[in-house]
Structure 1
Amino acid sequence: MNAVQLPLSNPPLKGFLRWGYTLSITSGHAVTIPWFYSNFIQLSCTKKFLEDGRQCYVDFFRGQPNELNFNNPFLLTCNVNYTFLENLALDDWPKFFADQIRNGYYCIVFLDESKLSPAACYQQEPFPHHLFLYGFNLEERVFYASMFDHTGVYRNLEISFEEFLDAVNSMKKLLKEGQTSDHHTYFYKYEPEFHYPFDKVAVIDQLRDYLNGETRLNRINYNPDENEAFGIRVYDYLQMYYDAVEQNDPRLGMRNDVRHLHLLWEHKKMMSDRIEYLVTEGIIPYDEELAEGYKDLAKRAMKLRDQYIRHEIREDKEVFERLRLRFNQFRDEEPVLLQKLIALLEG
């Protein structure tokens, strides 16, 4: 076969590549839906981004390890580093990854994204990143890939073998010079035999963790990071972050202004979709206050994100007052809705 494209779906979460990549493989399969709605409840946020100059991260939290490392139970996962592949001649890399795809493995390759023309960082400073490959065409010498493009949109596109090799070769040099560490290359195969019914206990536990601003996920192996805030406490650090942006605080490191708000919207939409799923499946009875309440949270979160995007195009200082208003509203309203959801789940 000179051309292969493995099945792919539009992922329901795209805030970070770890979600876009893995969920684009699994979310199109109905058998994975109960697992999906049993998860993706908790949020986490960096706390000391002003004190130590770190980048502020806001994201879904599913415990440790990183989502690329064996966290999706429907994916058979293996990974290798550049040391493992060092005896593979550079020109043989396209065939090697095409062979894995031909055998049913999606490939997530760690490379220098600044060598890829669709990327926002193209021809700029080196940018070590993972690229998702789901197909190839040997005659046209291209991989079919998914990534965030130069506009920040997650989409499917083509990457030429030439650019792919440039990106791999650049990564080899960065590793040899000690400019970055090896975050490994991953191979995933979808395993439909796995069975995961909806887990009401796990959902209730995560909802309580969110309300209490804590996490109990995977504590048997990992201590919670003292530099992370969880659940309802994330709003405090989002407010701190945007206050620093408004004031042009020199301590603020690399910024992800819109992404934080996009993640906030994805979380509210995910909660709204989960409630609809629970009602449809007969797990909880329909409750108008709960269902409409979360729909409204999601609508306001999306509007807030869009307003901030417009602010970045044409400055609107009033957006920061709207941020404060919405964060305060969400902080007050969300616990009431979550307590109601917990009560309905406990029956």
Structure 2
Amino acid sequence: MKKILPMKYPEITSYSIQSNVLSIIANYEETLPWYHSHFVQLCCDKQSLMIGFTDWAHNDTIFVPRQHVDNSLIKIKWESNICEFLINSINLDFYNYFYIDEYYIPDSNAYQSYKFVHNVFVYGYDIEEEIFFIAGSLKDGKYMFTRCTFTELENAYQSVSPIEDLLGGVSMYKYKKISVDFDLNFVVNSIIEYLYSKNSFQYDKRLHIYKDQFIYGISVYQHLDDYLSRLLHGEDKKIDKRPFHALWDHKKCMLSRIKYMGTNNLLKNADRLFVKYQIIERETLYHRNSILKYSLTKNKDVVEKIRHGINRLVENEMTLLNCFLESITPL
């Protein structure tokens, strides 16, 4: 017996918790209006380099509501047999998200080398081959779809102690078909908040507690520039590609939004805007690749070039986004 739930490689791959959900909804055309209405505004924790979309609050979207099963129930009901639990869950069309020790997962850098507790997303199984189909940020931090054996996943699950398990069980996701319209006003407001670095959490009671914790919008580039300056002067030794990858995700999302809005007659001059924004997307990818190059060469000229390139990119993006706002066709 074999069952694999639908998964499609997502546009956003910065952080697996978000990529997992987007891998589900990317299979369904009815989710496109919602998707292109979101993922505009960026935020960054002041104490770290964690740049991401403010929409991280949508890890469980209206299309994929989340349920949770505590490890204590798995222990009682399934005698801690995670494989049996997962097979039962997948048979009911649930995707499963939980923490494992990647020491036991072949496509991880930690495989048979060191303990590394991280999350995994299980979306299918094959009983004859005794394998699970999994997704996550695995080898070199790259988000991927791969597989592991029943034994490997069982060992990986059992190796995580209660204090290491941030979920304390398994989060389960199941697709729910809902009709949602494109929210043009939300897009406009999000772009304005991005351009003027406004706090996008201030109106959301759930997230208001984070109002002073984050930097928003275009200001995240200044935070990134400060980090690059510390790298240049030897004040920071950690080379972190994640913020650069997150910025590339942002540009890819903007490109697909321009294309979507143009196709649906919501944006004048969409083709011209697409071509110009494509240049920004390619430059952002270049910066992402350059920081990887620096991690190998330690050539500080590379960092200096990234800093100059990002400063030009910010100016060009602000100009282009203002043109974008002027080109919007009212509903």
- Under a length normalisation based on structure 1, what TM-score does the superposition of the two structures give? 0.87
| Selected match of 1:323 from 306, 311, 314 | 306
Structure 2 contact 99–165 (Cα < 8 Å) conserved: no
Which residue is equivalent to 1:46?
45
Structure 2 contact 200–216 (Cα < 8 Å) conserved: no
Which residue is equivalent to 1:285?
268
2:174 alignment partner, SS class: strand
Q: Write the distance in 2 (CA, Å) between the matches of 1:79 and 1:190.
A: 15
- Under a length normalisation based on structure 2, what TM-score does the superposition of the two structures give? 0.91
- CA separation of 1:331/1:152 partners in 2, compared to 1, >3 Å: closer, same or farther? same
| Selected match of 2:53 from 60, 64, 87 | 60
Q: Percent identity?
A: 23
| Selected match of 2:175 from 177, 183, 190 | 190
Which residue is equivalent to 1:314?
297
Which residue is equivalent to 1:52?
none
Structure 2 contact 44–215 (Cα < 8 Å) conserved: yes
Q: Does 1:115 align with 2:101?
A: no
The residue type paired with residue 290 of structure 1 is L
| Selected match of 2:217 from 227, 231, 254 | 231
Q: Write the distance in 1 (CA, Å) between the matches of 2:228 and 2:84.
A: 47
Richer in helix (by share): 2
The residue type paired with residue 330 of structure 1 is L
Which sections of structure 1, spanning at least 5 residues, go unmatched?
50-55
Which residue is equivalent to 1:243?
229
Structure 1 contact 90–169 (Cα < 8 Å) conserved: no
- Report which stretch shifted further, 220-229 or 25-34: 220-229
Q: Could you report, residue by residue, the CA deviation over 1:184-232 in whole angstroms, capped at 9, with x for unpaired residues?
A: 421111112x011110011111111111212334522321342211101
| Alpha-carbon shift at residue 34 of structure 1 (Å) | 0.9
Q: Write the distance in 2 (CA, Å) between the matches of 1:288 and 1:190.
A: 33
The residue type paired with residue 9 of structure 1 is K
Q: How does 1:6-85 map to 2 (within 5 A)?
A: 6-49=5-48, 56-62=49-55, 64=57, 67-68=58-59, 70=60, 72-85=61-74
Q: Write the distance in 1 (CA, Å) between the matches of 2:234 and 2:104.
A: 32
Q: Could you report, residue by residue, the CA deviation over 1:86-132 in whole angstroms, capped at 9, with x for unpaired residues?
A: 32455622111111101111111222223322212234554332211
Structure 1 contact 119–150 (Cα < 8 Å) conserved: yes
Q: Write the distance in 2 (CA, Å) between the matches of 1:182 and 1:14.
A: 21
Please give the root-mean-square deviation of Cα atoms over the aligned residues, in Å.
2.1
- CA separation of 1:315/1:249 partners in 2, compared to 1, >3 Å: closer, same or farther? closer
Which residue is equivalent to 2:249?
266
Q: Does 1:163 align with 2:152?
A: yes
Q: How does 1:125-140 map to 2 (within 5 A)?
A: 125-140=114-129
Q: Does 1:210 align with 2:194?
A: yes
- Report which stretch shifted further, 218-227 or 26-35: 218-227
Q: Write the distance in 1 (CA, Å) between the matches of 2:19 and 2:41.
A: 17
Which sections of structure 2, spanning at least 5 residues, go unmatched?
none
Q: Write the distance in 2 (CA, Å) between the matches of 1:246 and 1:123.
A: 35
Q: Could you report, residue by residue, the CA deviation over 1:297-338 in whole angstroms, capped at 9, with x for unpaired residues?
A: 001111222222233233332111111112211222222222
Which residue is equivalent to 2:322?
339
| Alpha-carbon shift at residue 268 of structure 1 (Å) | 1.1
| Selected match of 1:219 from 204, 218, 233 | 204
Count residues with an aligned counterpart: 328
The residue type paired with residue 42 of structure 1 is Q
Structure 1 contact 82–182 (Cα < 8 Å) conserved: no
Instruction: Return structure 1 stretches of 4+ with deviation > 4 angstroms.
Output: 88-91
Q: Write the distance in 2 (CA, Å) between the matches of 1:63 and 1:247.
A: 33
- CA separation of 1:287/1:104 partners in 2, compared to 1, >3 Å: closer, same or farther? closer
